[in-house]
Every structure is written in structure tokens, then in C-alpha cells.
């Protein structure tokens, strides 16, 4: 998955009517669950196997983990 696609997925999961600065935004558990479920649909059995991903609550940390696991590619 490209970073651009991931960013769109995050924004869609946050579902906010106003513009969001993803670099400083910390999401709640509902957004976290939505993101994990959507990623698991795209990458079956890969997302749930990543330790610590369920506790991440911001874009930068999740992006860093997904890049390290070769799930996300920088644009």
C-alpha cells in the first residue's frame, strides 16, 4: 500500500467534517478499531500479527510501524 492510499484510509476512518492535520492528530479507540479492521481486510492475517499496533493512536507512529513491516511504501 502506498502512503497516499493509507492517508486516505486514515482520513476516511476519522470521518471528520473539518480539515485535519494528521501529523498532530491523535485518534480515539473507535477510529483505531476502524483502521485496524480496514487494514486487515486489505492485508489478511498480517495486521493482527503486528505487536503494539493496536495501541498506536496517531498517524506517524502507525506509518512508521507499517513501513518497518513492509506493508506501507513511501510515495
Q: How many angstroms separate the Cα of 27 from the Cα of each of 45, 56, 58, 75? A: 23, 9, 6, 23
Predicted model pTM: 0.88
pLDDT higher than threshold 80 for residue 40: yes
Q: How many angstroms separate the Cα of 58 from the Cα of each of 7, 21, 29, 64? A: 12, 11, 11, 10
CA 3 to chain centre: 10
**Spatial distance between the Cα atoms of 51 and 10, rounded to a whole number of angstroms:** 20
pLDDT higher than threshold 90 for residue 75: no
Q: What pLDDT score does 3 carry? A: 93
Q: Which residues are CB-contacts of 1 (< 8 A; sequence separation ≥ 6)? A: 42, 43, 66, 71, 72, 73
pLDDT higher than threshold 80 for residue 20: yes
Amino acid at each position: 500500500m502506498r502512503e497516499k492510499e493509507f492517508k486516505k484510509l486514515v482520513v476516511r476512518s476519522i470521518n471528520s467534517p473539518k480539515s485535519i492535520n494528521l501529523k498532530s492528530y491523535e485518534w480515539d479507540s473507535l477510529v483505531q478499531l476502524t483502521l485496524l479492521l480496514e487494514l486487515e481486510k486489505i492485508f489478511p492475517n498480517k495486521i493482527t500479527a503486528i505487536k503494539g499496533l493496536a495501541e498506536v493512536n496517531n498517524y506517524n507512529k502507525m506509518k512508521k510501524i507499517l513501513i518497518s513491516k513492509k506493508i506501507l511504501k513511501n510515495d
